[in-house]
A and B are shown apart, each in its own frame.
Chain A
Amino acid sequence: MSIPILTLLVLVPLAGAIAVSFLANTNESLVKNVALVSSIATGLLTVWMLVKFPTGSAGFEFVSKHAWVSEWGISWHLGVDGISLFLVVLTGILFPLVIIGIDPHHDHKQYLVWMLVLEAGVMGSFLSLDLFLFFVFFEIVLVPMYFLIGKWGYDQRVYAATKFFIYTMAGSAFMLVGIVATAFLARRDIGHLSFDLIEIANKSHFATGTGRWLFVAFVIAFAVKVPLFPLHTWLPDAHTQAPTGGSVILAGVLLKMGTYGLLRFGVYLFPEAAVWAKPILLTLAVIGIIYGAIAATMQKDLKRLVAYSSVAHLGFIVLGTFALTNQAITGGVMQMVNHGISTGALFLMVGMIYERRHTRAIAELKGIQAVAPIFAGFFTLVMLSSIGLPGLNGFVGEFLVLIGSFTTARWWVIAATTGVILAALYLLWAYQRVFHGEPDEANKSFAEITKREAMLLSVFVAAIVFTGVYPKPMLNRIEPSVKSLLEHVESHSNYKQPEIKAGE
Chain B
Amino acid sequence: MMLAANMFIGPAIDWFKVSPFLFMLGGVLLLILAGSLTPQWKSGAYGIVGALTAAGSAVCTAMLWRDLGDGKPTSLLANSLSFSKFSLFATFSIAIATLLAILVASGFLVREGEDGPEVFALILSASIGGMVMVQANDLIVMFLGLETLSLAFYLLTASSRGRSASGEAGLKYFVLGGFASAFFLYGVALVFGASGSTNIEKIAASLSKDMVLGGTSSMLLAGIALLLVGFGFKVSLVPFHTWTADVYQGAPTPITALMGSVGKTAAFVALFRVFTVALSSRSDDWRPVVVVLAVLTLVVGSVLAVVQTDVKRMLAYSSISHAGFILVGLVAAGHSASEDAGLGTSGALSYLFIYSVLVVGTLGIVSIVAGKGDNETALSAFKGLGKSNPVLAMGMTVLLLAQAGVPLTSGFVAKFGIIRAAVSTGSYALAVVAMLAAVIAAFLYLRIMVSMWLAESTTSRDVAATFSVKAAVAVCVGVTLVLGFFPSLLLQFTNQL
Asked whether A72 lies within 8 Å of B407 as measured between CB atoms, the reply is no
Beyond A135-B407, A143-B406, whether A173 also contacts B491 by CB under 8 A is no
A174 to B408, CA, bound (A): 19
Cβ of A463 within 8 Å of any chain B Cβ, yes or no, is no
Chain B interface main SS type: helix
Asked whether B423 lies within 8 Å of A177 as measured between CB atoms, the reply is yes
Which of B40-48, B360-368, B429-437 is the interface stretch?
A: B429-437
Chain A residue nearest in CB terms to B419: A180
Which of A158-166, A280-288, A423-431 is the interface stretch?
A: A158-166
Report which of A70, A71, A166, A181 forms a contact with B423, defined as CB distance below 8 A: A181
Chain B residue nearest in CB terms to A177: B431
Cβ of A58 within 8 Å of any chain B Cβ, yes or no, is no
Beyond A69-B487, A140-B408, A151-B454, whether A173 also contacts B423 by CB under 8 A is no
Report which of A68, A132, A140, A166 forms a contact with B443, defined as CB distance below 8 A: A166
Asked whether A71 lies within 8 Å of B419 as measured between CB atoms, the reply is no
Report which of B406, B431, B439, B495 forms a contact with A71, defined as CB distance below 8 A: B495
A180 to B435, CA, bound (A): 12
Asked whether B443 lies within 8 Å of A173 as measured between CB atoms, the reply is no
Report which of A72, A137, A158, A213 forms a contact with B454, defined as CB distance below 8 A: A158
Min CB distance A443 to B, Å, is 33
Interface readout for A138-165 with B: 1 if CB under 8 Å, 0 if not? 0110110011001100000110001001
A376 to B274, CA, bound (A): 74
Q: Which residues of A contact B401 (CB under 8 A)?
A: 143
Asked whether A165 lies within 8 Å of B435 as measured between CB atoms, the reply is no
A-B pair number, CB within 8 angstroms: 81
Question: B409-454: which residues lie under 8 A (CB-CB) from chain A?
Answer: 412, 416, 419-420, 423-424, 428, 431-432, 435-436, 438-439, 442-443, 446, 450, 453-454
Asked whether B435 lies within 8 Å of A173 as measured between CB atoms, the reply is yes
Cβ of A169 within 8 Å of any chain B Cβ, yes or no, is yes
Asked whether A162 lies within 8 Å of B435 as measured between CB atoms, the reply is no
Cβ of B389 within 8 Å of any chain A Cβ, yes or no, is no
Q: Which residues of B contact A150 (CB under 8 A)?
A: 450, 453-454
Asked whether A72 lies within 8 Å of B442 as measured between CB atoms, the reply is no
Q: Which residues of A contact B454 (CB under 8 A)?
A: 150-151, 157-158
Cβ of A370 within 8 Å of any chain B Cβ, yes or no, is no
Cβ of A136 within 8 Å of any chain B Cβ, yes or no, is yes
Asked whether A184 lies within 8 Å of B423 as measured between CB atoms, the reply is yes
Cβ of A176 within 8 Å of any chain B Cβ, yes or no, is yes
Asked whether B406 lies within 8 Å of A72 as measured between CB atoms, the reply is no
A279 to B495, CA, bound (A): 44
Interface readout for B326-346 with A: 1 if CB under 8 Å, 0 if not? 000000000000001000000
Interface centre among A72, A173, A181 (most CB of B within 10 A): A173
Beyond A136-B408, A139-B407, whether A162 also contacts B446 by CB under 8 A is yes
Cβ of A170 within 8 Å of any chain B Cβ, yes or no, is yes
Interface centre among B406, B407, B431, B491 (most CB of A within 10 A): B407
A158 to B487, CA, bound (A): 32
Min CB distance B388 to A, Å, is 14
Asked whether A176 lies within 8 Å of B406 as measured between CB atoms, the reply is no
Asked whether A180 lies within 8 Å of B420 as measured between CB atoms, the reply is yes
Asked whether B442 lies within 8 Å of A177 as measured between CB atoms, the reply is no
Q: Which residues of B contact A162 (CB under 8 A)?
A: 443, 446, 450
A176 to B405, CA, bound (A): 11
Chain A residue nearest in CB terms to B407: A136
Report which of B423, B450, B487 forms a contact with A180, defined as CB distance below 8 A: B423
Q: A-side interface residues toward B, CB under 8 Å?
A: 68-72, 132, 135-137, 139-140, 142-143, 146-147, 150-151, 157-158, 162, 165-166, 169-170, 173-174, 176-177, 180-181, 184, 213
Pull 26 A–B residue pairs with CB atoms less than 8 Å apart, ordered by A: A71-B492, A72-B416, A72-B487, A135-B407, A136-B408, A139-B406, A142-B406, A143-B401, A143-B406, A151-B453, A151-B454, A162-B443, A162-B446, A162-B450, A165-B446, A166-B439, A169-B442, A170-B436, A170-B439, A173-B432, A173-B438, A173-B439, A176-B416, A176-B435, A177-B428, A184-B423
